[in-house]
Structure 1
Amino acid sequence: MKITVVVPTYRRTKDLQVCLLALSKQVRPVDELWITVRDIDTETWQFLENLSPEIAALPMQTITVTVTGVVAAMNLGLAAATGDIVAFTDDDSGAHPHWLEQIEQVFLADPQVGAVGGRDWVYHGKELEAGAKERVGKVQWFGRLVGNHHIGVGGAREVDFLKGVNMSFRREAIADPRYEPMRFDPRMRGTGAQVNFEVIFCLELKRRGWKLIYDSEIGVDHFRGARFDEDKRDSFNPLAVTNAVHNESLAILDYLSDWERFVFGIWAIAIGTRDSFGLLQCLRFLPKQGKTAIRRLWASWQGRWQGWRTWQAGRAASNGG
């Protein structure tokens, strides 16, 4: 199978160098490599003009992105890719040497597999984030997302969604002639990372009847590079929270049944998670976070409401309303 790898990048040249070196050392070589670069990112364009011999030997091509957000970059890469398998990773990651070989083996073993992904070993500086969970990439019946891709253990299993830093898709699945060709959803909000963009894409693929496989042995090292948008990872930003919760809510509302959506709405407002607060989570973190917990609750509720409105607008448009 021909394998295309797509790497969106923005102003992280040191990370990108590690990423590209890892791709150059794959046991199963890359057949096609697309790097998407913002038009205003002069640092990256200069880096790409002065590549080391190892990196320069990659079958690499570039795409200029003129708008903000990872979704636009991903869609340009997806449109340019010609491989039977289209694999995505982040510019702040380093794929393990057998990454592409293992991905290809899973696709070859079962023609019903539409997507394959694995673990991202998250580093905070030089320290590896610890943890071990067998439940990975699941949507619970009431709409709660269970990620854990970065601490997943165990062999290959079916999941509901994968993580953007380590995911790949069968072209036959995303271009299934029975449906509209798949693209990453432009309704995702945010000016950079657009958190949860991969969830809605994966859930749509699953809804179309394809299997999504997660295997913790299919690994990349994830170094969590700097972000240059409102979402700064480990600090609270109300807009970043609202955008992430909007995207999460939209993905879940698209996927659940009417009854499950009703339960999800109650759960989301009353309980929520440590990232997407409901009232109970706010009370839980109030002693430690103080006013920040209240602000996070309000930002989360705004995201839920805005996600609902976006979903309703999409539903009306699809019904001709």
Structure 2
Amino acid sequence: MKTTVLVPTYRRPQDLQRCLEALQNQQRLPDEVLIVLRATDQPTWNLLEQNTFSPLTIRTQIVEQPGQVAALNAGLDAASGDIIAITDDDAAPHPDWLKRIEAHFLADAQVGGVGGRDWVYMGGTLHGPTADQVVPRPIGQIQWFGRVVGNHHLGTDKPQEVAILKGANMSYRCTAIGSARFDPRLQGTGAQVHNDLGFSLAIKRQGWKLIYDPAIAVDHFPAQRFDKDRRDAFSYGATLDAAHNETLILMNYFAPFRRAIYLGWSILIGTRVKPGIVQLCRLLPREGLQSWQKGKAVLQGRWQGCRTWLGRTKKLT
């Protein structure tokens, strides 16, 4: 099967270099590496002009619109592989990454997507359990009331079918993708969080299997984001966008009865990251005024997400 590795990037040449060097060391080399970048990103262009990264076949695709959604969609439009493997520029796939991905697609024609674990390093230190500490846990699931469970970075003991693949380490069969694209209604000017959630559910809704295999691994070094979605501090706008995007995606995916359950749970209870009323009361003693700002941002994002969904514009196929 022909494989395209798709890497969207913006102003992170050192991270991209580490990613490409990891792709050079793949046991099963990609048939092409497609770098999606902006015309104005001169540091990245300099890297690509100064290094050949042999034996990789590297193609570039220019995107003018800011945001990860536009970059990923431009990559999907330009990719030529039977398998499209997507990773972040701040991730470094393990040497057997593509070999293991291809094996899953070859083994089962009903598999539409394959992903795996990202070993997250914060400041050079592993975040999460080591390999000998892995225990079975829910991975990439949506609970009946709408809570999204990721945990992709924590790993599990064996491959399993999931509902969600993580953007730093996911791949799809081209025939499963078809005309589906990442949802352009998602808010944000950079990361546009939860775009992987929406795309995973779009593929799953068509009846394809999504497989999470912890042995399909990348080392992930979360890098600087050049938008309001900072990794190290609370941002009202980023929290609002995350709540909007999650709400839009799940309202689009759920049947009417589950939509009502999800809205009730998310507004009354929620999570620590996207608190509803109950979680807000729990956070108040520890976070003070910031908890109220977080709660307000989430509520506003939920409201905007419902409005976007009701508009039914540019609906994801």
Paired position in structure 2 for 1:178 = none
- Which residue of 153, 159, 167 maps to 1:150? 153
The aligned amino acid for 1:20 is: L
State the distance in 2 between where 1:162 and 1:27 align. 23
Paired position in structure 2 for 1:6 = 6
State the distance in 2 between where 1:24 and 1:134 align. 33
State the distance in 2 between where 1:194 and 1:294 align. 23
Paired position in structure 2 for 1:23 = 23
Give 1:284 deviation, angstroms: 1.1
- Which residue of 297, 301, 308 maps to 1:310? 308
When the two structures are aligned, how many residues end up with a matched partner? 310
Correspondences of 1:45-124 after superposition (within 5 Å): 45-51=45-51, 53=52, 55-124=53-122
State the distance in 2 between where 1:213 and 1:255 align. 19
Whether the 8 Å CA contact 1:2–1:84 is kept in 2: the answer is: yes
CA offsets 1:203-230 (integer angstroms, 9 cap, x no match): 1111110000001110000000110000
State the distance in 1 between where 2:268 and 2:185 align. 26
State the distance in 2 between where 1:56 and 1:314 align. 46
State the distance in 2 between where 1:12 and 1:283 align. 39
Give 1:64 deviation, angstroms: 1.1
The aligned amino acid for 1:12 is: R
State the distance in 1 between where 2:40 and 2:181 align. 24
Ranges of 4+ aligned residues in structure 1 off by more than 6 Å: none
User: Are residue 34 (structure 1) and residue 37 (structure 2) matched?
Assistant: no
- Secondary structure at 1:225 match in 2: coil
User: Are residue 226 (structure 1) and residue 224 (structure 2) matched?
Assistant: yes
Paired position in structure 2 for 1:162 = 165
Give 1:291 deviation, angstroms: 0.3
Correspondences of 1:105-254 after superposition (within 5 Å): 105-131=103-129, 132=134, 134-175=137-178, 181-254=179-252
The aligned amino acid for 2:42 is: T
The aligned amino acid for 1:208 is: Q
CA RMSD between the two structures? 1.2
Paired position in structure 1 for 2:268 = 270
The aligned amino acid for 1:163 is: K
Question: Which shifted more, 114-123 or 283-292?
Answer: 283-292
Identity fraction in percent: 51
Give 1:57 deviation, angstroms: 2.9
- Secondary structure at 1:149 match in 2: coil
Give 1:37 deviation, angstroms: 0.8
Whether the 8 Å CA contact 2:128–2:153 is kept in 1: the answer is: no
State the distance in 1 between where 2:218 and 2:122 align. 14
The aligned amino acid for 1:135 is: P
CA offsets 1:74-128 (integer angstroms, 9 cap, x no match): 0111111111100000000000000000000000010000000000000001100
The aligned amino acid for 1:94 is: A
Structure 1: runs of 5+ lacking an equivalent: 176-180
The aligned amino acid for 1:143 is: G
Paired position in structure 2 for 1:260 = 258
Give 1:56 deviation, angstroms: 3.9
State the distance in 2 between where 1:39 and 1:136 align. 37
State the distance in 1 between where 2:39 and 2:294 align. 34
TM-score computed with the length of structure 1 as normaliser: 0.94
Give 1:234 deviation, angstroms: 2.1
- Secondary structure at 1:150 match in 2: coil
Question: Which shifted more, 274-283 or 296-305?
Answer: 274-283
The aligned amino acid for 1:124 is: M
